Amino acid sequence: MKRYVMALDQGTTSSRAILFDRSGAVVAVDQHEFTQHFPHSGWVEHDPQEIWDSQLRAARGVLQAAGATGDDVAAIGITNQRETALVWERASGAPIHRAIVWQSRQTAPICDELRSRGLESEVRARTGLVIDAYFSATKIRFILDAVDGAQLRAERGELAFGTVDSWLLHKLTAGRLHATEYSNVSRTLLYNIHELEWDELLLGELQIPHSLLPEVRDTSGVFATTDPSWFGAEIPIAGVAGDQQAALFGQGCTAPGLAKNTYGTGCFLLSNTGGEAPLSETGLITTLAWGIDGRVDYALEGSIFVAGSAVQWLRDGLGLVETAADSHAMASRVEDTGGVYLVPAFVGLGAPYWDEAARGVMVGITRGTTRDHMVRATLESIAFQTRDVVECVQSDSGGALESLRVDGGAAQNDFLMQFQADCLGIPVERPDVLEATAFGAAALAGLSVGFWSDRSEVESAARRLRVFEPQMSSDRRDDLYGGWKRAVERSRDWHRG
Ligand code: ADP
């Protein structure tokens, strides 16, 4: 009898492996960090071999921690940092360049070139995305330009492109499989999310040959079995999803109108739109949520670049708090911020402003302003940015959200969650296990091999909730939010050159 499902959670700074039992409970976790390479200011790269080594170590480590072997594992689910791009040799499996990470700005000039060719609206209509260095396509172009002879070799069919999911599938199967799935492929900026096919126009504009591309599969379903050399058993890899879509699934947001927000370094808010793919008119992107049983679902997504990392800045940059968790007590010591707002536009603003020239501001400071006010303003800024995105979701989808499901490291902060509910005027629901991403990957895999027969079997275990009900009057809510909008205006278009 197989006892566990294993989630492999390949993140931006570490690779984790988590074992879930039949009740959906976490049995063991192993985690290994790996090196961040910053070859130039604004560039971020990873060594593909280190990604794999750390992931394999975590997978073996978690089995050891649970006193289990590969034979105890019914299925593996993979979830991964999205958009990060790799190119490797088909024959040897050797990468030809370091992976270019989603955060890396090194392809901004290629994006400028695409914009100058007037491709913005075509990109939106076909891929649901905006032209931005964040997505994979320009990273592939960069690698093919950076490595001598790579374009020619790609055209001859000697090279393979993949996002991190494809790379792990390639490694886990000892090179037998070159595949991806809907949630990851919709972040490449090369995939038509309506026709569900690689987009010839965009491939042509970027001169990316077809022969580089992985096969696109359903998100849930058996992709292959692992090579027996890794875990001593052939384990089915039965679910694969990008981290934010995995969290959406893990949070049970499987029907239209259900939304989750993950509070990590940044915030990623996704709202399920079912079989509809609304084109955002407010600065959100449209993405594939997953493909299951031959049918795809879509989501609207708002990406906020700075959220939990603003709390890290309070700790490491300003020394105003000793630990991130202290921010809760400090913010709660004061009634309000005394009129202070922080706009943490440290790297510009993401959704819905997409303003690369915005920079951080703190406004409304008086002689009475204290540390506590500043800490509180920082936490409030995370909630206000989330409200910006929620307003867009409501306007694009034409319906009001009834509640918001939350996860991620900063969702542990009770002050922030209560203020979030107050600021939105809807309940905020926090599961007691904040492992929504890994659980989503495990659920996608476990459901497809019949380890769980349907979601309800695991849902109760995964979703014991604490609900934060809104307590603020709507006048006060609107007043505070009005102040935020004015503060955002002060941060816009600041950085020149
Ligand atoms: P990521 O997956 O992006 O690395 P995590 O989900 O692990 O992020 O969350 C870590 C982030 O959450 C950090 O930026 C940290 O500052 C913030 N954080 C962690 N605990 C708290 C807390 N109690 N209050 C506020 N922020 C927190």
pLDDT tens readout for residues 224-255: 999 999 999 999 999 999 999 999 999 889 98
Mean pLDDT across the stretch 132-151?
A: 95
> How confident is the model at residue 459, as a pLDDT?
66
The residue whose CB lies within 8 Å of the most ligand 1 atoms, and thus the one to mutate among 265, 267, 382, 433, is 265
101, 265 in Cβ contact below 8 A?
no
Q: Which atom of ligand 1 is nearest to the CA of 325?
A: 23
Confidence of residue 104 (pLDDT cuts 50, 70, 90): confident
**What is the DSSP track for 315-381?**
IIIS---SSTTHHHHHHHTSSS-TT-EEE--BTBB-TTT-BTT---EEE---TT--HHHHHHHHHHH
CA of 413 to the centre of ligand 1 (A): 9
Q: Which atom of ligand 1 is nearest to the CA of 308?
A: 14
pLDDT surpasses 90 at 13: no
**From the centroid of its chain, how far is CA 365?**
34
> How confident is the model at residue 84, as a pLDDT?
96
> How confident is the model at residue 347, as a pLDDT?
81
CA of 199 to the centre of ligand 1 (A): 37
Dihedral Cα 136, 142, 143, 147, nearest 10 deg? 170
Length of the chain, please? 497
- In the block, which residue shows the tokens 């172009």? 141
| Domain residue ranges in the chain | 4-243
Protein residue whose Cα sits closest to atom 8 of ligand 1: 264
pLDDT surpasses 80 at 463: no
410, 382 in Cβ contact below 8 A?
yes
At residue 51, what is the residue type? I
* Planar angle of CA 329, 335, 336, nearest 5 degrees: 95
CA–CA gap between residue 241 and residue 158 (Å, rounded): 27
CA of 375 to the centre of ligand 1 (A): 15
The residue whose CB lies within 8 Å of the most ligand 1 atoms, and thus the one to mutate among 14, 33, 34, 263, is 263
pLDDT surpasses 60 at 416: yes
At residue 331, what is the residue type? A
CA of 82 to the centre of ligand 1 (A): 19
> How confident is the model at residue 497, as a pLDDT?
58
Q: Which atom of ligand 1 is nearest to the CA of 409?
A: 9
Two tokens at 150?
């790579």
Helix, strand or coil for residue 480?
A: helix
> Using CB atoms within 10 A of its CB, is residue 315 exposed (0-12), middle (13-18) or buried (19+)?
middle
CA of 411 to the centre of ligand 1 (A): 8
Closest CA to 241 of 187, 176, 160: 187
Confidence of residue 462 (pLDDT cuts 50, 70, 90): low
pLDDT surpasses 80 at 170: yes
CA of 286 to the centre of ligand 1 (A): 26
> Using CB atoms within 10 A of its CB, is residue 392 exposed (0-12), middle (13-18) or buried (19+)?
buried
CA–CA gap between residue 460 and residue 469 (Å, rounded): 21
CA of 408 to the centre of ligand 1 (A): 7
Protein residue whose Cα sits closest to atom 7 of ligand 1: 409
> Using CB atoms within 10 A of its CB, is residue 60 exposed (0-12), middle (13-18) or buried (19+)?
middle
Q: Which atom of ligand 1 is nearest to the CA of 379?
A: 25
Mean pLDDT across the stretch 406-431?
A: 95
Two tokens at 177?
């499989």
Confidence of residue 24 (pLDDT cuts 50, 70, 90): confident
CA of 61 to the centre of ligand 1 (A): 24
What is each CA distance from 355 to 82, 188, 324, 359, 492, in whole angstroms? 22, 22, 27, 9, 7
Q: Which atom of ligand 1 is nearest to the CA of 408?
A: 6
> How confident is the model at residue 23, as a pLDDT?
87
> How confident is the model at residue 432, as a pLDDT?
78
Mean pLDDT across the stretch 112-116?
A: 93
Q: Average pLDDT, whole number, for the chain?
A: 93
CA of 284 to the centre of ligand 1 (A): 23
Q: Which atom of ligand 1 is nearest to the CA of 315?
A: 16
Q: Assess whether the previous peptide bond of 352 is cis (omega < 30° from 0).
A: yes
CB-CB neighbours of 37 under 10 Å: 15
pLDDT surpasses 80 at 390: yes
CA of 307 to the centre of ligand 1 (A): 8
Protein residue whose Cα sits closest to atom 25 of ligand 1: 410
Conformational region of residue 229, where left means phi above 0, alpha means psi within -120 to 50, and beta covers everything else: alpha
Two tokens at 407?
């996860």
CA of 436 to the centre of ligand 1 (A): 14
> How confident is the model at residue 89, as a pLDDT?
97
> How confident is the model at residue 456, as a pLDDT?
75
Q: What are phi and psi of 343, to 5 degrees?
A: -110, 105
pLDDT tens across 278-312, in order? 988 888 999 999 999 989 999 999 999 899 999 99
Helix, strand or coil for residue 296?
A: strand
Q: In what order do the strands lie in the sheet with 465-468?
A: 285-292, 295-304, 267-274, 259-263, 404-407, 428-431, 465-468
Confidence of residue 398 (pLDDT cuts 50, 70, 90): confident
Confidence of residue 465 (pLDDT cuts 50, 70, 90): confident
Q: CB under 6 Å to ligand 1: residues? A: 11, 13, 264-265, 308-309, 311-312, 324-325, 327-328, 408-410, 412-413
Protein residue whose Cα sits closest to atom 2 of ligand 1: 264
Percent of the chain with pLDDT over 70: 98
Q: Which atom of ligand 1 is nearest to the CA of 13?
A: 4
> How confident is the model at residue 431, as a pLDDT?
87
Conformational region of residue 163, where left means phi above 0, alpha means psi within -120 to 50, and beta covers everything else: beta
CATH of 4-243, one of 1.10.287.130, 3.30.420.40, 3.40.140.10, 3.40.50.920: 3.30.420.40
Q: Which residues neighbour 370 within 8 Å (Cβ) at sequence distance 6 or greater?
A: 334, 338
Closest CA to 266 of 363, 178, 381: 381
Bigger pLDDT: 209 vs 251: 209
Q: Which atom of ligand 1 is nearest to the CA of 312?
A: 16
pLDDT surpasses 80 at 356: no
Confidence of residue 460 (pLDDT cuts 50, 70, 90): low
Q: Which atom of ligand 1 is nearest to the CA of 11?
A: 2
Range with the poorest average pLDDT among 40-44, 400-404, 461-465: 461-465
> How confident is the model at residue 103, as a pLDDT?
83
